[in-house]
Amino acid sequence: MVMDINEIREYLPHRYPFLLVDRVTQLTVGEAIVAYKNVSINEPFFNGHFPHHPIMPGVLVVEALAQVCGILGFKTVNKLPADGYVYYLVGSDNVRFKRPVMPGDQLVLEANVIRGKRGIWKFACRATVDGELACEAEIICAERKVA
């Protein structure tokens, strides 16, 4: 285990029900991160998406990927939300969904730095379930001082 939920909460400003990363299992500063989210039927979005065939909304899979990008960005520049910084999701390119994510799945979230310059980061991201690709995307995040 590289980061448990307590350390993740130091690096992400998100809280329930929007914190979508449960554990970080690998992290190479400035390069890559691997984390996961355990998808439970108790997630609030399953009440409406869809009651008789629950699947995790694709936008939340992308958000989970963006959150791991934020963790990697914060770790790389050695800053924290407590220091008054956030990472905004500012873009996504080439987003493709390959399989639905359902209750009981463990969503593995991977991000690799493509480039970072002046607080703007681009990542190659993948989300998998049992080794099967669920989503891939290029995600762009921007570091901003907010406090």
Residues with Cβ within 8 Å of residue 110, at least 6 apart in sequence:
32, 33, 34, 68, 125, 126, 127, 128
46: which residues sit within 8 A by CB, 6+ positions away?
54, 56, 103
Identify which of 93, 90, 123 has the alpha carbon closest to the alpha carbon of residue 109.
123
- Residue from 14, 49, 52, 53 carrying the catalytic annotation: 49
Q: For this structure, is 49 an active site residue?
A: yes
Which are the catalytic amino acids? Answer: 49
